[in-house]
Amino acid sequence: MNIQENISLKKYNTFGINVNAKRFVSVNSLYELKNILKEEQNVFIISGGSNMLLTKDIEELVIHLNLKGISIDRENDNSVYLTVNTGENWHDFVLWCISLNYGGLENLSLIPGNVGTCPIQNIGAYGVEVKDTITKVEALEIETGKLVIFSNEECEFGYRNSIFKNQAKGKYIITSVSFELTKKNHALNTSYGAIEQELASKNITKPNIKNISDAIISIRQSKLPDPKKIGNSGSFFKNPVISLCHFEKLKSKFPEIPHYIISESSIKIPAGWLIEQSGFKGKRLGDYGVHEKQALVLVNYGNATGKNIYQLAQSIQNTIKSKFSINLEIEVNII
Ligand code: EPU
């Protein structure tokens, strides 16, 4: 076990925030991980580092999950069942599936992060959520060192939510995720406006999963910053859901307000629109700000601190609260 001291976490989080880990270890196997947990349970887990804002140095032992490997558990004519270790890069895994014509994840192309964190916030984009393909999640219980299996149902998935953000938070380390993907008759999801436009611009009328993935990659590249170039954590806030009555009041004041009907009594409003209307889109304060093409994304242009970005987030929340009476909930984990 190679524990290093005073390591910068800048390259381990997609926001590119430079905080110090007092002690740091990268683990490559379940065996190593179990051994570390026998010695130490006050740990801080980092995987792809794509959904966290680090606002302080980390005093606990930082464990970087680097467990790799994909296995095909079984397959039949229609489906393939895979188990993927936690440290595999998400987008590389999606591309691997597409190369083998395994369908179901193409709409989730180019999402930053690792496979092991995809269930935590139930990643979603362009009409698809990862919960639709997950069969089970395997996790180590930190306190006991025992492996526990969570079925899809037991993961209690919701919009950007799961048991791992609630009762199970801080208690488990996800070690692998299992998926069921289609081998033929893929259920293509092109209903999200921008996908159809993108396909039409390439004259594709009968898309396959590769075409859809390519379309999504180009849509995402056109409006979301590449974390390798500009530090960010994707959508910083959740899209808020408000009551119909609240929505009607807002609509009389802002007739053009975009919205999605969730149920008879609840309406989802794009947070990006609220933030743009409040004048924050493209705003830059020194080394940090709000992305110029997508107001839902906060960015670090270089040497911003987590506190800088958190303060900006709070000032956005306060403005949205007073202008629209809406509580914007932060999606990213604030550490
Ligand atoms: N909008 C604006 N200004 C902006 C951004 C958005 O007015 O700066 C309005 C537009 O009306 C637009 C609407 O918001 O039509 C929706 O925007 P978009 O389609 O870009 O999607 P989003 O609601 O901002 C969500 C997810 C993204 C996901 C996209 C595509 C959340 C919090 N975010 O964003 O997820 O990629 O849909 O499906 O649900 C992520 O979670 O990190 C993420 C990037």
For ligand 1, pick from 232, 233, 235, 297 the residue to mutate: most ligand atoms within 8 Å of CB: 235
- Report the top-level CATH class of 231-334: alpha beta
Is 5 tagged catalytic? no
| 146 vs 140: CA distance, rounded Å | 6
- What CATH number does the domain located at 4-65 have? 3.30.43.10
CATH of domain 70-182: 3.30.465.10
Q: Where in the chain is the domain with CATH 3.30.465.10?
A: 70-182
CA 270 to ligand 1 centroid distance, Å: 6
Respond yes or no: is residue 284 known to be catalytic.
Answer: no
Q: What is the pLDDT of residue 192?
A: 86
- The encoded tokens of residue 23 equal 């002690």
Contact between 271 and 240 (Cβ < 8 Å): yes
What's the whole-number average pLDDT of the chain? 96
According to the model, what pLDDT value does residue 48 have? 92
Of all atoms in ligand 1, which is nearest to the CA of residue 51? 42
Confirm whether 220 is a catalytic residue. no
Residues with CB under 6 A from ligand 1: 125-126, 234-235, 238-239, 258, 270, 272-273, 276, 281, 294-296, 331
Q: In 10 A of CB 132, how many CB atoms?
A: 18
Domain with CATH 3.30.43.10 in the chain: 4-65
From the list 160, 162, 178, 213, the catalytic residue is 160
Task: Say how far apart CA 39 and CA 253 lie, in whole Å.
Answer: 59
What digits encode the pLDDT tens for the residues 153-180? 999 999 999 999 999 999 999 999 999 9
Q: What is the CA radius of gyration of the chain?
A: 20
Catalytic residue among 47, 50, 109, 235: 235
Distance between CA atoms of residues 49 and 29, nearest Å: 19
- The protein residue with its alpha carbon nearest to ligand 1, atom 14, reads 270
pLDDT in tens, 234-245: 999 999 999 999
- Cα–Cα distance, 290 to 275 (Å, whole number): 9
Q: How many CB atoms lie within 10 A of CB 200?
A: 11
From the candidates 88, 180, 198, 331, give the one annotated as an active-site residue. 331
- Ligand 1 centroid to Cα of residue 240, in Å, is 12
The pLDDT assigned to 182 comes to 98
- Report helix, strand or coil for 122: coil
- What is the distance in A from the centroid of ligand 1 to the CA of 8? 32
35-78, pLDDT tens digit by residue? 999 999 899 999 999 999 999 999 999 999 999 999 999 999 99
The single-letter code of the amino acid at 15 is F
Residue ranges, CATH 3.90.78.10, the chain: 231-334
% pLDDT > 90, the chain = 97
